[in-house]
Amino acid sequence: MNSVRVILILSLAGLASVLPAGCRRPLASPASYSTSNVAVLRAALVGKASASESVAAVVADPTGWGTLKGVFKMVGTPPPRSKLNVDKEQNICLPGGKPVLDEVVVVDPATGGIKDVVIFLETKYPLDNPKWEHPEYAATKNAEVVFDQKACVFLTHVFAIRSTQTLRVLNSDPVGHNMKIDGGPRPDNFTVAAGSSLPYAPGGEAAEPFPVSCSIHTWMSAYGLVRLSPYFAVSNAQGEFELKNLPAGVPLKFRVWQEKAKFIKDVAATGTIDKFTKGRLELKLDNDEQRQFELSVDSKLFGGN
């Protein structure tokens, strides 16, 4: 029982003790009270009001929108990609006998760009405030996102969706697969028959990407991320990403993640970023700003040289 409730109960008990039985108007002097109790009660009520006011003051509205473009590059020699052990249904899963390589770390040999690096907004904001979400994102809030598999490989190695969206799990193979989701807001395990599809509604939010696999074909692997906010991106084969229509005029904090390195904590930046510490990228965009930067990461964080 908290202190405010105790004070109120004691005060009511004191009042009851001075009221006589029956319906006669009491002639006794008014009930006594404790000045210390009044002080505690006042402090509790004022404290709650102050807390509400401070939250309102901290969550300022954005003043417009800005865009962030970047590229993740590896410095040094990337680790070699391993050959996957495709040990069943090789006529389908190993077409032409060509080996299938893992996608734990994929680097563009020409540019050094790192594929499948995830960057997402960590800053919390009022989801019901349209000033924080551009109409472009509001229009796709409940859209369906396709996740396909072909030749016993997940065609999207790292996917990211909003909690309000649906993941349409396709199976473009002539054999069945199962979708084993280990983590996230709603872990699941379901079979997708050959040439068919099933929906997956995640709900909730994940603090970081979670593994996805197929128990039938054990070499198949991917990662997924579910966020309440639409502000996330996954780098392409050249290591590039773009986050359009970010809230401007307010401080933003992002996390940067990669399958092997997990949350990347050490980068060298070319371009303008406000701060990068402990795996968090912090910045503040001006209205209509188009900011670009390059983040270079040491290959040793990925097991390279």
Confidence of residue 198 (pLDDT cuts 50, 70, 90): very high
Confidence of residue 59 (pLDDT cuts 50, 70, 90): low
Q: How far apart are the first and last CA of the chain?
A: 59
pLDDT digits (tens, 9 = 90+) for 165-185: 999 999 999 999 999 999 999
Per-domain residue ranges for the chain?
3-22+30-58, 64-302
**Contact indicator for 135, 143 with CB cutoff of 8 Å:** no
**Count of CB atoms within 10 A of residue 151's CB?**
15
Higher pLDDT, 218 or 271: 218
Summary count for the chain: helices (H), strands (E):
4, 20
The answer to whether residue 228 scores a pLDDT higher than 60 is yes
The answer to whether residue 13 scores a pLDDT higher than 80 is no
**Count of CB atoms within 10 A of residue 243's CB?**
21
Rounded to an integer, the average pLDDT of 13-33 is 40
The answer to whether residue 256 scores a pLDDT higher than 90 is yes
The answer to whether residue 27 scores a pLDDT higher than 60 is no
The closest of 241, 247, 231, 242 to 285, measured between CA atoms, is 247
pLDDT digits (tens, 9 = 90+) for 103-162: 999 999 999 999 999 999 999 999 999 999 999 999 999 999 999 999 999 999 999 999
* Chain center to CA of 199: 21
Residue with tokens 């401070």: 54
The answer to whether residue 15 scores a pLDDT higher than 60 is no
> What token pair was written down for 203?
């709900």
pTM above 0.85, yes or no: no
What residues does 222 pair with on adjacent strands? 212
Burial category of 231 from C-beta neighbours within 10 Å (exposed 0-12, middle 13-18, buried 19 and up): buried
Over the chain, what is the mean pLDDT?
Answer: 85
Interhelix angle 3-17/35-58, nearest 10 degrees: 150
**Which residues have C-beta within 8 Å of that of residue 180, sequence separation ≥ 6?**
188, 189, 212, 213, 214, 215
The span from the CA of 159 to the CA of 147, in Å, is 8
Confidence of residue 273 (pLDDT cuts 50, 70, 90): confident
Rounded to an integer, the average pLDDT of 290-294 is 95
The span from the CA of 298 to the CA of 76, in Å, is 6
The answer to whether residue 55 scores a pLDDT higher than 50 is no
Indicate the helix (H) or strand (E) that contains 49: helix 35-58
Indicate the helix (H) or strand (E) that contains 40: helix 35-58
Architecture of the domain made up of 64-302: Sandwich (2.60)
What is the CB-side half-sphere exposure of residue 169 using CA atoms within 13 A? 25
